Amino acid sequence: MVIRMRRVLIAYLAAFALVLGACGIDASELPEPPPSAPTDALPAVAQSSTAPLQLPSLPAAHYRKLRVFVASENTEQVWVLEGAPGASFAVVGKIQVGKLPHQMAVSPDGKWVAVNNRLSASTSIIDPVTMKESIRLKVGNAPHGITFSPDSQTLFVAHERDTYIARFEVGTWKPLPAIVVGLPQHVLTIGSQRPTQLLFTVTNSSENDHLRSYDLATGQITKFKVQDVHDAYYTPDQSEIWSSSSGFIGKPSDRMVIYDPDTRAVKEEIHLGPGRYPFHTEKEDQDGMYFLPDRSIMLLSDHTGPSLLWVDYKARKIVGETKGLGPQPFHTTYDPEGARLLLTTNIDGMVNVIDVNTRLVVQKVGVPTAHGIVAVGIP
């Protein structure tokens, strides 16, 4: 029995290491993706209307308590934290999902939470009010990037080992025509000011042009002329796109590339300095319903610090740093009523609660191998 359990554990750890993708291994170590997606499961992409989307306004930042959902990778659960304004956060529930829950997203209207189960080829949809898994969607191999559309009507799922981006109708969870892009993807980004532009990175590919956009209105794919891209995100005012580099834990990079979101041209390349390794920021339609009121500041998790960087993106400089974090800080969400940020650190298994005014860590809540995080206001 002990030997068999050890074998199971070894097999699990081997699989875990293999799919770490841009978070831990080189693209050369990944197997080749299938030449094309199954045609019966993935019909050709239909062009959507070119009419502008009517976007709902964000929910008012007034709630009785903030409910925070955290992907706990090695427990196969999403842990739920709650905190009232001015009160500490505490674990109030655990939701069983698939194997290796990783990247998360929350719909802009706050009605749904989604998490990709990286080793289960599935995406779990969670009702944030009942704190239950509503449905488990079948997706492609190694789902990673995930985002809702700005109008909360569509869910997109990217794959590290498949050549298409899946999409689903929110609420009915009916599969919609897949977006066949021809190579594996890593992360997704979409912004409310350009709701038909779906950005995706191709970190796990040997092809050039590692940042691309798919036009949801025309079906056209545009390649940004840039290499070595991990994540890509809009600045808070959505005037620029920034991308971090490397994405491999053992290969730190302080390089950031800045683009014009309309022309898709590189504007500038900057370096944040020795000992910096910027990773992720809080994204619309993914990491939370609420955002810092100071829109001049962009938050970047820094793997080398390890810390959270407060960046004046227009001045291209770091203006603050939150230290006292454990190794490998990843994703951040915001609590407007409490003026707090919540940031996951993966190795020590913590959700770090950060006071926005002092920029200091004021609480730590243990969540094993914490990675993705989203927050929903509960009235």
- pLDDT tens across 170-223, in order? 999 999 999 999 999 999 999 999 999 999 999 767 899 999 999 999 999 999
pLDDT at 56 over 50: no
DSSP string, 122-162: EEEEEETTTTEEEEEEE--SSEEEEEE-TTSSEEEEEESSS
Confidence of residue 23 (pLDDT cuts 50, 70, 90): low
Mean pLDDT, rounded, of the chain: 87
Q: Rounded to 5 degrees, what are φ and ψ at 357?
A: -75, -45
In degrees, to the nearest 5, what angle opens at C-alpha 105 toward C-alphas 103 and 107? Answer: 170
pLDDT at position 61:
59
| Higher pLDDT pick, 233 / 41 | 233
Give one word for 323, left, alpha or beta, with left for phi > 0 and alpha for psi -120 to 50.
Answer: beta
- pLDDT tens across 62-84, in order? 788 999 999 999 999 999 999 99
Task: Give the strand pairing for 350-355 and 361-366.
Answer: antiparallel
What is the mean predicted confidence (pLDDT) over 11-35?
42
Q: Which residue is it, tokens 């056209």?
A: 220
pTM reported for the whole predicted model: 0.87
pLDDT at 128 over 80: yes
Which amino acid appears at position 155 of this protein?
L
- Helix residue spans in the chain (DSSP H): 2-18
Which amino acid appears at position 1 of this protein?
M
pLDDT at 254 over 70: yes
